[in-house]
Structure 1
Amino acid sequence: MSQVAFVSHGGGPMPLLGDPSHSELVSTLQALTNELPKQPSVIIMISAHWETTGFEITASSTPDLIYDYYGFPDESYRIKYPAPGAPQLARDIALKMDIQGIPIRLNEGRGFDHGMFVPLILMYPEANIPVLQISLSSSLDPVQHWEFGEQLANVLPEDALVIGSGFSFHNMRTFFAPKTPKVNHDVHAFQAWLDETVTNSGVTMSEAKERWSKWSKVEGGRFCHPREEHLIPLIVCHAVSQKQGVSIPFTALDVEARHYVW
């Protein structure tokens, strides 16, 4: 049975630059591996920062890093995380997903974006575990991604670790605006719905799928995610965990970030 986690990856490279506002996120990610029962043989990363038509999977043996952020100190463009790829496993996953009716294209040129390397530098600094990254579909359709996660659960190696990297809250304007009572109300309303959906063992698989299909209608949902690319990795991870029948704890850093571990 695979291990599954959803993590908030912070603002660009800031968790790696000693930014005080990210100190709790950094310490939580550094401790997160202690919650996982075993060292994975491979990490399957679903990052908010890669969208394609349909789904793609990295297939290079030595992927480069993509510094997909702007205006940061020079040192943030010299960050290294030389984790190997797993091209044969990528081909195996793509073949098995195609048989299930959900094709994934192999991408031999794509590197790892900061949604991958920022959390993994903190969680697995040795960079000695092979990593595959899977894109989001540019549709950002919650049902499509839920069904993708269901099928992905069927083709994973038993000792894989699936990580969704995004944010439980991603309204960029509000990050830097005063936290008014209205803002706090909307954020907490959606976070309460999110925690109920993901952590309540009484929510069945079909009920979870239905809830996710209507997430944007939930109070505070569209306020917390004006665009949902940072939420979609959580949907994939939740589907993987539900298919495997795994219960879940979670860590709440603040009203803007959640880490869920299955």
Structure 2
Amino acid sequence: MATVAFVSHGGGPMPVLGDPGHADLVVSFADLAKDLPKAPSVIVVVSAHWETRGIEVTGAANPELIYDYYGFPAASYQLQYPAPGQPELAEGLVQQLAKQGLPVTLNGKRGFDHGMFIPLMLLYPEANIPVVQVSLERNLDPALHWQLGEALTKSLPEDALLLGSGFNFHNMRAFFTPKTDGMLAQVNQFQTWMDQLVENTDLSPQEKATAWQGWSQVEGGRYCHPREEHLLPLVVCHGAAQGGAKTYLSQVMGVPARHYLWG
């Protein structure tokens, strides 16, 4: 089975620009990098920053970078990560996902967004491993994204890395407000639920999938994720791996951050 990991990628390009509020996150990326395979045959990234009608897969041989963030220093728009695509694998992946009942198409023009290149600049800075991106379905249905994870793990080479790139907390307004006891209580309530679910080795895959379908009813869930696009890459990864994950702890701007690694 492919190696599966989820990363909290931080605020735009700030993790690679030396931002003090991201220093602890950068350390946690270094810790995770030590445990990842050194040379996977391909890295398949499910990014919070690409939503489509149906699932899409990048098929270009040399995708350009998409600087899909705004208001950051000029250096943010000069970042480079010249990893190649993998068109042959992408075409095969589309075929395999379609056979498993997913609505999926190949996108031969789309580039790599910062949900891909920011974490990979920290994890695989040489940019010499082929990368394929997979979109989220814009309906943001947890059940469909769990199914996507299950389908990906059946379709990828065993020496691949499946990387979910999102954030365990994504309330943008809360990042820039005082970290009150009440605010942190909501964050910790949901984070505890998430950690326990992702680390669990006793629940069946179906029980885990069902738990994700009710995530928004968990105390603090909607506070942490007013919109769930940064949570769903984690659902995809959990659907792919299904076992218990190792957790990497850090914080960003006073808020707990998490990476998870399976297998």
- Please, what is the CA RMSD of the aligned residues? 1.0
SS of match in other structure, 2:155: coil
> 2:141 matched to which residue of 1?
141
Q: Deviations over 1:146-174 (max 9, x none)?
A: 11111111101110000000000000111
> Amino acid of the residue matched to residue 105 of structure 2?
R
Q: TM-score, normalised by structure 2?
A: 0.96
Contact 2:6 2:261 in 1 (8 A): yes
Q: Percent identity, please.
A: 57
Q: Deviations over 1:93-148 (max 9, x none)?
A: 10111111113210011000011000000110000000000000000011111111
Q: Deviations over 1:19-40 (max 9, x none)?
A: 0111111122133221124521
Contact 1:57 1:105 in 2 (8 A): yes
> 2:238 matched to which residue of 1?
238
> 1:253 matched to which residue of 2?
250
Tell me which moved more, 185-194 or 93-102.
93-102
> Amino acid of the residue matched to residue 249 of structure 1?
K
> Amino acid of the residue matched to residue 127 of structure 2?
A
For residues 211 and 31 of structure 1, the distance between their equivalents in structure 2, rounded to whole angstroms, comes to 29
Q: TM-score, normalised by structure 1?
A: 0.97
For residues 204 and 58 of structure 1, the distance between their equivalents in structure 2, rounded to whole angstroms, comes to 32
For residues 37 and 52 of structure 1, the distance between their equivalents in structure 2, rounded to whole angstroms, comes to 30
SS of match in other structure, 2:207: helix
Count how many residue pairs are aligned between Structure 1 and Structure 2.
Answer: 259
For residues 30 and 81 of structure 2, the distance between their equivalents in structure 1, rounded to whole angstroms, comes to 16
Contact 1:94 1:103 in 2 (8 A): no
Please give the residue correspondences for 1:38-187 in structure 2 after superposition, counting only pairs within 5 Å: 38-187=38-187
Please give the residue correspondences for 1:174-253 in structure 2 after superposition, counting only pairs within 5 Å: 174-242=174-242, 246-253=243-250
For residues 78 and 220 of structure 1, the distance between their equivalents in structure 2, rounded to whole angstroms, comes to 37
Cα deviation, residue 183, structure 1: 0.5
Specify every segment of 5 or more residues in structure 2 that has no aligned partner in the other structure, as ranges.
none
> 1:7 matched to which residue of 2?
7
Q: Deviations over 1:55-74 (max 9, x none)?
A: 00000000000000111111
For residues 65 and 256 of structure 2, the distance between their equivalents in structure 1, rounded to whole angstroms, comes to 27
Q: 1:214 to 1:119 in 2, by over 3 A?
A: same
> Amino acid of the residue matched to residue 80 of structure 1?
Q
For residues 183 and 41 of structure 1, the distance between their equivalents in structure 2, rounded to whole angstroms, comes to 42
SS of match in other structure, 1:115: helix
Q: Deviations over 1:207-245 (max 9, x none)?
A: 100100000000000010000000000000000001xxx
For residues 195 and 123 of structure 2, the distance between their equivalents in structure 1, rounded to whole angstroms, comes to 23
Contact 1:31 1:123 in 2 (8 A): no
For residues 32 and 192 of structure 1, the distance between their equivalents in structure 2, rounded to whole angstroms, comes to 20
For residues 128 and 152 of structure 1, the distance between their equivalents in structure 2, rounded to whole angstroms, comes to 22
> 1:22 matched to which residue of 2?
22
> Amino acid of the residue matched to residue 113 of structure 1?
D
For residues 245 and 225 of structure 2, the distance between their equivalents in structure 1, rounded to whole angstroms, comes to 23
4+ long deviations beyond 4 Å: none
